[in-house]
């Protein structure tokens, strides 16, 4: 079946949150990142809360490692949960699965605001800033930290097919963004967020 990434439905512009939460935490002893505890609840719940606080009414969450446990333990009301059985191939497979899910959402989505579950230092203020960079379905925008591009990243729907084609392995949208760097609107978030990842045992100190 061919996924169509272009919708003609008439509705107010809709920027949906796309949370990539499939990681298996290989360097964390195989603990799924979505279920790491942060502020008393699974990290995936915190990240969804950030997207909602930033104004994303529609939120799709891509699950992979221990997806069944995540569904049991995390409270994610109103979210579209997307199972990615190919999560072990890397972030690219989760990004493809998420974009395909957004394209099929009957509410109609004009842009995807992509956040990673293992970056709790990025809060609602930074996400809202990037969301505000939306100008149309051709929009491309990304948070910037001291001049370096990071997450979240906003992809207008006109770019989804091209991103999905190049999203392989752990590169995600990196190749597509490199080829379209002149079209990316940088959004400085250095003053309101810290883009660290929770990858190793030492990184767990960032969790509360």
* Range of lowest pLDDT (46-50, 87-91, 98-102): 87-91
Mean pLDDT on 103-114: 97
Mean pLDDT on 175-202: 94
Residue 68: pLDDT band with limits 50, 70, 90:
very high
Q: What is the pLDDT of residue 123?
A: 97
At residue 11, does pLDDT exceed 70? no
pTM (2 d.p.): 0.92
Question: Which CA distances in Å does 198 have to 23, 28, 31, 87, 126?
Answer: 11, 9, 11, 17, 18
Please give the torsion angle defined by the CA atoms of residues 130, 73, 22 and 123, in that order, rounded to the nearest 10 degrees: 20
d(CA 18, CA 11): 19
Q: Which two tokens stand for residue 72?
A: 């049991």
Closest among 89, 93, 116, 125 to 196, alpha carbons compared: 116
| Residue 97: other Cβ atoms inside 10 A | 25
Within 8-79, where are the H helices? 43-53, 67-73
Mean pLDDT on 30-42: 90
Q: Which residues of 29-51 are buried (b: 16+ CB within 10 A; e: fewer)?
A: eebbbbbbebeeebbbbbbbbbb
What own/partner pairs with CB < 8 Å and gap ≥ 24 does 22-26 have? 22/62, 22/63, 22/64, 22/65, 22/67, 22/84, 22/87, 22/93, 22/94, 23/64, 23/65, 23/87, 23/117, 23/118, 24/64, 24/65, 24/66, 24/87, 24/88, 25/65
Computed over every residue of the chain, the mean pLDDT equals 92
* Range of lowest pLDDT (61-65, 86-90, 146-150): 86-90
Query: In this predicted model, what pLDDT tens digit does every residue of 184-197 receive, in sequence order?
Result: 999 999 999 999 99
Residue 27: pLDDT band with limits 50, 70, 90:
confident
């Amino acid at each position: 079946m061919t996924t169509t990434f272009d919708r003609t439905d008439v509705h107010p512009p809709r920027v949906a949150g796309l949370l990539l939460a499939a990681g298996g935490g290989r360097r964390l002893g195989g603990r799924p990142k979505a279920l790491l505890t942060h502020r008393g609840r699974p990290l995936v719940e915190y990240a969804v809360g950030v997207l909602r606080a930033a104004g994303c009414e529609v939120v799709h969450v891509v699950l992979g490692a221990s997806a069944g446990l995540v569904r049991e333990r995390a409270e994610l009301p109103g979210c579209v949960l997307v199972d990615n059985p190919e999560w072990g191939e890397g972030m690219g497979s989760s990004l493809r699965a998420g974009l395909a899910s957004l394209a099929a959402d009957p509410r109609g989505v004009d842009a995807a605001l992509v956040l990673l579950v293992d970056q709790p230092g990025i809060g609602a203020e930074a996400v809202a800033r990037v969301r505000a960079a939306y100008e149309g379905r051709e929009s491309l925008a990304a948070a910037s930290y001291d001049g370096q591009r990071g997450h979240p990243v906003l992809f207008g729907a006109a770019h989804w097919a091209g991103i999905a084609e190049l999203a392989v392995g752990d590169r995600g949208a990196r190749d597509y963004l490199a080829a379209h760097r002149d079209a990316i609107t940088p959004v400085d978030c250095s003053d309101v967020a810290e883009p660290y990842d929770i990858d190793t045992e030492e990184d767990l100190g960032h969790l509360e």
